[in-house]
Chains A and B, each alone.
Chain A
Amino acid sequence: MGCGLSELVLEALFQSSVDEVSRLAGLTAEELAILEDADGAANELVVSEFEKYVERKYNPEIHRVLKRRNLMGVPIGTKYGGRGARQLVEALFMERMGQTGMGVITFADVHQCLGSLAIQDWGNEEQKARYLPDAAKGETIFAYGLTEPEAGSDPGSLKSSYVRDGNGFRITGSKYLISNGSISTRMIVFARPTAGGNPTAFILDTKGKGFSVDMRLEEKIGLFTSDTSMVSFEDAYVPKEDVLGQEGKGLSVAYSALLNGRIGIGSGCVGVMEDCLNQVRERATTRLQHGKEIARHQLIQKHVAFIESSLEACRWLIYRAAMKKDDYERDLRDLRLRTDADRLSAVAKYMSSRCAFESADRAVQCFGGFGYSIMSPVAKHFLDSRVARIYEGTDEIMELKIASTVLGKEFEAYR
């Protein structure tokens, strides 16, 4: 199925990923076109990402460039105006974006994997027709309102609540550390009935009455180009047509969205490792110390070997998780496939995020004193990749999840 490979000239490490995946799983002409657009978008974002990072500000170019290059709806079905990419191709897209940094990944992952795909997977036909075309065109930006000040790893303990009001519901509560929170036009919000019961997922209009951005969270230690906010709902109205999935089954929506999101984040981490490798190779082969390039010093070579080995291992964990998810998409009745996809996405995200952070740490070390400056190309990866071990499932939750798939559900330690 490989098509026109020799005509594409992509960033070198990404090219090798695309070539390998094409040989293994085949890539159609449209899929290669998506990846070529991704390569172009990443090249276009390099300068603005750096400038905004140094200024510690959200980068609006991320949205503009992805929208202009028709990359806001990569996994959304073509019926709704998206590019119709399977999970494997979405993973490759996120990998290339990851080379530009986790700020770009966070924006894309939340909008596409957590927001748009939640509607594609759980919405009725009317909801899909109403929301997905604008999401694919980039006219809508999605955010994902699950985390609260007192509900992080334990979303079941969330406190945001709702009451029925005529033909809809009114939501009251707060959400914390919400990526795309203050720039979103729609938010998937999770709340439970005031009288008690399991959470429900809603599609909320952030331009409607009752929604407010309390503050942009600008004191993070990294991820400066990503918008992160605290938001509140005060009797924010949602019509009954905007309940996503069934009432009381919100956590099912939440967990399945996180499965998509974890593959996205993990893919971005692979991109981070690729950029770290590129930057270290360039630095080490040009910087002279003790009369020779530092690349000739064995202890620098140790760092290079670690980054390269981590990259190769994590790439294939991600691709395998993505392919398993694609298998499940072809047969939604096969719950074993879903369990496998869930397990593999946890393993892939866990390993990729840890390896990306370790790789970025070693890359900073290879850059020496200059590596400790925000002007170095690797400092950003060091600061940003740290969050990948926390958001969309902490290392610890991933470990418990993975262990329970080996030991059996009766041994689950986080319930």
Chain B
Amino acid sequence: MQLHLEGTNSIASPREKVYSLLTDPGFISKSLPDAEEVRVLDATSLEARMKLRIAVVSTALKMKMTIEKTAPPSKATLLAEGAGSGSGLKIRSAFELSGDATTSIAWAADAEITGVMAGIGSTLLRGFAAKKVAEIFSDITRAIEEASR
């Protein structure tokens, strides 16, 4: 099953700083909610065991994430792929930054879900994904703004 999400967010921090943190596996490894056993592999990739919780059910996924700096300090892509507990997840996301002292992020993500998790259906998964994305952006924004002070 395919899901597409997109949106814009704003971070009170200069663009170069935001770009450098968003493309740093070390920073991302500390900002992922529900992540256990995170391991930075090299300058562009990391591995993590993610516990995705939908209602009372937890699904444990072993994920690998790879960052590509397609056009610094504006554009980058993140590919996340993994499986576990009878489900598979592949997410290709891209973001574009604009602005100077305050950075605007325009992002889009395409997810492919297979296995048991796909059975929940896109209506519900989209709702959960939107909630999770909002949570991630809230955590990342706070972390970047603190790092910029």
Contacts and interface: CB of A to CB of B under 8 A. Distances in A.
A282 B116 contact: no
A370 B57 contact: no
B56 A377 contact: no
A51 interface: yes
Interface stretch (B5-13, B40-48, B77-85, B121-129): B121-129
Interface in A23-71: 43, 46-47, 50-51, 53-55
B119 A50 contact: no
A51 B128 CA distance: 10
Contacts, number: 47
Measured as residues with beta carbon below 8 angstroms from the partner, the interface class of chain A is 20 to 34
Interface of A is mostly: helix
Point out which of B57, B119, B120 has the most chain A C-beta atoms below 10 A from its C-beta: B119
A286 interface: yes
Nearest to B131: A47
Interface in B113-139: 116, 118-124, 127-128, 131
A282 B57 CA distance: 22
A376 B127 contact: no
B127 A47 contact: yes
Given A47-B128, A47-B131, A286-B1, A55 B121 contact: no
Interface residues of B, number: 16
B119 A283 contact: yes
A376 B128 contact: no
Interface string A101-135: 00000000000000000000000000000000000
A386 B135 CA distance: 37
B128 A283 contact: no
B55 interface: yes
Interface of B: 1, 54-57, 116, 118-124, 127-128, 131
Interface of A: 43, 46-47, 50-51, 53-55, 275, 278-279, 282-283, 286, 367, 370, 373, 375-377
23 contacts: A46-B124, A47-B127, A47-B131, A51-B55, A51-B56, A53-B55, A54-B55, A55-B55, A275-B123, A278-B123, A279-B123, A282-B1, A282-B121, A282-B122, A286-B118, A370-B116, A370-B119, A375-B55, A375-B119, A375-B120, A377-B120, A377-B123, A377-B124
Q: Which 7 A-B pairs have the closest CB atoms?
A: A54-B55, A47-B127, A370-B119, A377-B121, A46-B127, A51-B55, A286-B1
